[in-house]
Amino acid sequence: MIDLVWLAVLLPFLGFLANGWLAFRRPRATAAVSAVGVGVLVAAFVVALGVAFAYAGGHHVDPIIVPLWSWIPVGHLDVMLAFQVDALSIVMLLVVTGVGMLIHVFSVGYMGDDPGYARYFAYLNLFVFFMLVLVLGASFPVLFVGWEGVGLCSYLLIGFWYRDKANADAGKKAFLMNRIGDAGYLVAMFWIFWATGSLSFTDVFAAAPRVFVVGGTTITAITLLLFLACTGKSAQIPLYTWLPDAMAGPTPVSALIHAATMVTAGVYLVARTNILFAMAPVGSAVVAAVGALTALWAASIALKQWDIKKVLAYSTVSQLGYMFLGVGVGAISSGIFHLVTHAFFKGLLFLGSGSVIHALHHAYHHTHRDEDAQDMRNMGGLRRWMPWTAAVMWIATLAIAGFPGFSGFFSKDEVLALTFAKGHEHVLFYVLWAVGAVAALMTAFYMARMMLYTFHGPNRTGAAEQEHLHEVSWVMTGPLVALAALSLLGGVLNLPHVLPGAGWLQHWLEPVTAAGDFFKPELHLPASTEWLLLGLASVIAIAGLYAAKALLHPEALRPAAEAPPETGLAKVLLRKWYVDEIYDAVVVRPLLWLSEKVLWKGVDNGLIDGAGVNGPARVARGVGAVGSWMQTGQVGTYVFFFVVGVLLLLRAVTRV
Amino acid sequence: MLLAPALGVSALIFAIGVGGVLLRRNVIIIFMCVELMLNAVNLTFVALAQQLGPQGQVIVFFVMAVAAAEAAVGLAVILGVYRHQESVNLQDLNLLRG
């Protein structure tokens, strides 16, 4: 069964081909598109389940390599196109196909009326294909194929409604910022090959302890370059600004690509190469510090956003920060645990916001009003019309806020607890823990704010629109309920050590993390401290939720069109600390200036066109003019030259 | 023997031929000047054959044969050109001007 893992990869690709064909030939065949698009995901999920059970039943420790064919045989480099099945890739395989399947089902309802329905599902299938290549690839180049492929699909889907220039620009921004990170991946890959002579994961990780010096410059540089790639793909400081803009795409895309799966690829990469990071304490500390800072930074921006999807986008950036904090302190399983629970509750939040936007959009469509269907100031009190959506989103909110018992409570607490435990080694990690705790407080606050403004208080949509507000169809609420159950119960995957049945995921991932754990002391907390931290996490979550309830007044809010402009700190936060403006002034505009004035007008027009292209042409034309002047057409002239030539030759031959 | 005067005459005839080709405009006259040059060369061969053996005289016969052939072809070409251009003046035959 494990040998059939390629089937899980191939199925979405076949779905892409079929839907791509339909997009060109039968764009109206929505039933066929839905059947193919969702069907291949269901089939892939079944295959994934089969692989997972076969692997678990076999009690494997070493990764199982499923080779397909020799891809790049050059000299003593021989890159196989091979898939690697081990504990980590199985977790990712199940998340991608499982959550992906639910989001595909949701899309059937959400995108049903869109003229680009077939194109949408073709892209979505292609994305799942590349994501599976990414998580199953058994070597750095194969992983990179998936890495680039999901970037491409992300670009295509952000700019899905490409007729609107802002959407196309957002796609370009995402693509370019990812490219910066990808350069880091490439250099790291070359460096790894130079150092170890191989690119397959098993060989590199086996050679790593022999080739690299713990804490040495080479390994530190490699890990930092790999992390640069992660900051691009997983939207960490300094390359995070593309993710909030990526919300220009359809909402299920935001759920699947920009929350549940693709953006977690960076976390997966760090977990996959955990032995390299374990050998580079500085590299790991950078990962943890950037993660904690990003968590706080993005959470602060989320506090004041009005666009419901922007709140969730910054929340995603912030939660990704937690994951990097987890893998950065060496607690690989805690990072992956948060990745999994985050895929559940953030996928649910995005889909829930999608059904809200869908409902509002339809209401405004009925009354022909051109209002922003994503602005929370146009919502309010929606729980009366959308009880299911409100209920499941509350579950997800409690999960992400870390309310005791919900999945996010356990995963976030574990990241923070292990960061705290790492404080024994260096005081920096106590600081990072504090940063993470403050970010957790903000998380609870902004999520409660979003829920209060969206579902509670008076309705601000408009009197005429209220008649058209209604709950979305079961195709959309079904996946929401499934994800809500997972958000509620996902915590049992990895309960804290002080509870019975604890640490299942950690134990499951041990074959993958064991090699890296060899290089670092075990993170351990006394039971009393662990209880204390659990209690503190509960207090933080409840305090954040309560503060939102106490401080915010949904009934005083005005619709977006009439709302007064923000002032002071609120404005700075609404404008996202002006980071986009700063990047624009520091990077984009100097680059454009350099490109236009120097490279285009100077180098291209002046040097290359002048000396390289037009110069030889001018010389050739000059020589041609002389030659053409001699061609008079008069035989006499030719004879004259002929005679002169003969005389000169004679002179040369008879010279004594 | 009278080698030096013979060579002098042949050089003079050759120079006249070259000058004629260079300076005259009429194709037929130029053609005749070419014949003049050929015969100047013949004279040189015959004069030198007095000292160097009979090979030179043999070559003279070759030259005469070739010259006869050339005259036939050349005159035919000139005739063709005249039919085409209604002129045998070289200045009118400048289709190759660059």
User: Residue A519: pLDDT above 90?
Assistant: no
Give the gap in angstroms from C-alpha A603 to the nearest C-alpha of chain B. 37
A629 and B98 within 8 Å at the Cβ level: the answer is yes
In A162-191, the residues whose Cβ lies within 8 Å of chain B are none
B96 and A640 within 8 Å at the Cβ level: the answer is no
Report the pLDDT value the prediction gives residue B85, as an integer from 0 to 100.
Answer: 83
The more confidently predicted of residues B21 and B92 is B21
B96 and A628 within 8 Å at the Cβ level: the answer is no
Q: Total domain count for chain B? A: 1
Determine the Cα–Cα distance for residues A535 and A538; give it in Å rounded to an integer: 5
End-to-end Cα distance, chain B: 52
* Residue B37: inside a domain: yes
Confidence label for A578 from pLDDT (cuts 50, 70 and 90)? confident
Which chain A residue's Cα is nearest to B26? A636
CA–CA distance from A535 to each of A159, A351, A448, A491, A539 (Å)? 44, 31, 20, 16, 6
Is A621 within 8 Å of chain B by CB? no
Is A565 within 8 Å of chain B by CB? no
Determine the Cα–Cα distance for residues A465 and A40; give it in Å rounded to an integer: 38
User: Residue B96: pLDDT above 80?
Assistant: no
B91 and A632 within 8 Å at the Cβ level: the answer is no
B22 and A630 within 8 Å at the Cβ level: the answer is no
Residue A639 has its nearest CB partner, among B22, B25, B94, at B22
Determine the Cα–Cα distance for residues A331 and A415; give it in Å rounded to an integer: 7
Residue A631 has its nearest CB partner, among B22, B93, B97, at B97
Q: What is the mean pLDDT of residues A527-543?
A: 91
Determine the Cα–Cα distance for residues A71 and B26; give it in Å rounded to an integer: 78
- Which residues, 6+ apart, have CB-to-CB distance to B65 below 8 Å? none
Chain A residues near residue B91 by CB distance under 8 angstroms: 634
- Minimal CA–CA distance to A322: which of A437, A240, A403? A437
- Which residues, 6+ apart, have CB-to-CB distance to A98 below 8 Å? A45, A48
pLDDT tens for each residue of A92-130: 999 999 999 999 999 998 988 888 899 999 999 999 999
User: Residue A133: pLDDT above 80?
Assistant: yes
- Which residues, 6+ apart, have CB-to-CB distance to A30 below 8 Å? A112, A117, A118
pLDDT tens for each residue of A629-651: 888 777 778 888 888 999 999 99
Which chain A residue's Cα is nearest to B18? A643
Chain B residues near residue A639 by CB distance under 8 angstroms: 21-22
A631 and B95 within 8 Å at the Cβ level: the answer is no
* Residue B50: inside a domain: yes
Task: Say if CB A93 and CB A137 are below 8 A apart.
Answer: no
Give the rounded percent of residues in chain A with a pLDDT score beyond 70. Answer: 100
Chain B residues near residue A628 by CB distance under 8 angstroms: 98
Confidence label for A77 from pLDDT (cuts 50, 70 and 90)? confident
Report the pLDDT value the prediction gives residue A498, as an integer from 0 to 100.
Answer: 80
A634 and B21 within 8 Å at the Cβ level: the answer is no
Q: Alpha-carbon dihedral of residues A356, A357, A363, A369, nearest 10 degrees?
A: 150
The more confidently predicted of residues B98 and A188 is A188
Task: Say if CB A559 and CB A377 are below 8 A apart.
Answer: yes
Chain B residues near residue A632 by CB distance under 8 angstroms: 94, 97-98
Report the pLDDT value the prediction gives residue A436, as an integer from 0 to 100.
Answer: 94
Amino acid at A243: L
A635 and B93 within 8 Å at the Cβ level: the answer is yes
B21 and A639 within 8 Å at the Cβ level: the answer is yes
Chain B residues near residue A630 by CB distance under 8 angstroms: 98
* Residue B62: inside a domain: yes
Residue A631 has its nearest CB partner, among B22, B90, B98, at B98
Q: What is the mean pLDDT of residues B47-75?
A: 91
* Residue B75: inside a domain: yes
Q: H helices within A137-164, ranges in order?
A: 140-158
Buried b / exposed e over A283-296, threshold 16 CB at 10 Å, is bbbbbbbbbbbbbb
CA–CA distance from B98 to each of A182, A618, A629, B94 (Å)? 58, 19, 7, 9
SS3 A85: strand
Report the pLDDT value the prediction gives residue A362, as an integer from 0 to 100.
Answer: 87
A636 and B22 within 8 Å at the Cβ level: the answer is yes
* Residue B48: inside a domain: yes
Report the pLDDT value the prediction gives residue B98, as an integer from 0 to 100.
Answer: 59
Is A640 within 8 Å of chain B by CB? yes
Strand-strand pairing, A64-74 and A77-85: antiparallel
DSSP string, A225-276: HHHHHHHHHTT-TTSTTHHHHGGGS-HHHHHIIIIISGGGHHHHHHHHTHHH
Determine the Cα–Cα distance for residues A633 and B94; give it in Å rounded to an integer: 4
Report the pLDDT value the prediction gives residue A656, as an integer from 0 to 100.
Answer: 64
Host domain of residue B39: 3-92
Picking from A104-113, A241-250, A253-262, A566-575, which range would have the lowest pLDDT averaged per residue?
A566-575
Q: Which residues of B touch A (CB under 8 A)?
A: 18, 21-22, 25, 90-91, 93-98
- The tokens for A227 are 């992390």
Say if residue A355 is exposed, middle or buried (CB neighbours under 10 Å; 0-12, 13-18, 19+): buried
Determine the Cα–Cα distance for residues A96 and A89; give it in Å rounded to an integer: 10
User: Residue B1: pLDDT above 70?
Assistant: no
Determine the Cα–Cα distance for residues A281 and A271; give it in Å rounded to an integer: 15
Query: Which residue in the block uniquely carries the two structure tokens 């169809």?
Result: A473
- The tokens for B1 are 């023997």
User: Residue A150: pLDDT above 80?
Assistant: yes
Give the gap in angstroms from C-alpha A642 to the nearest C-alpha of chain B. 10
* Residue B98: inside a domain: no
- Minimal CA–CA distance to A48: which of A83, A14, A93? A93
- Minimal CA–CA distance to A444: which of A400, A405, A474? A400
Residue B97 has its nearest CB partner, among A633, A639, A640, at A633
Give the gap in angstroms from C-alpha A628 to the nearest C-alpha of chain B. 5
- The tokens for A505 are 């995921």
User: Residue A484: pLDDT above 90?
Assistant: yes
Amino acid at A38: V
Chain A / chain B CB contacts < 8 angstroms = 30
pLDDT tens for each residue of A387-406: 999 999 999 999 999 999 89
Confidence label for A513 from pLDDT (cuts 50, 70 and 90)? confident
Determine the Cα–Cα distance for residues A379 and A454; give it in Å rounded to an integer: 5
SS3 labels along A19-60: HHHHHHHCCCCHHHHHHHHHHHHHHHHHHHHHHHHHHHHCCC
Task: Say if CB A99 and CB A256 are below 8 A apart.
Answer: yes
Chain A residues near residue B29 by CB distance under 8 angstroms: none
Chain A residues near residue B11 by CB distance under 8 angstroms: none
- The tokens for A172 are 């370009």
SS3 A357: helix
Rg, chain A, Cα only? 30
- The tokens for A38 are 């969702």
- Minimal CA–CA distance to A538: which of A412, A438, A409? A409
Amino acid at A181: G
- CATH number of the domain that B32 lies in? 1.10.287.3510
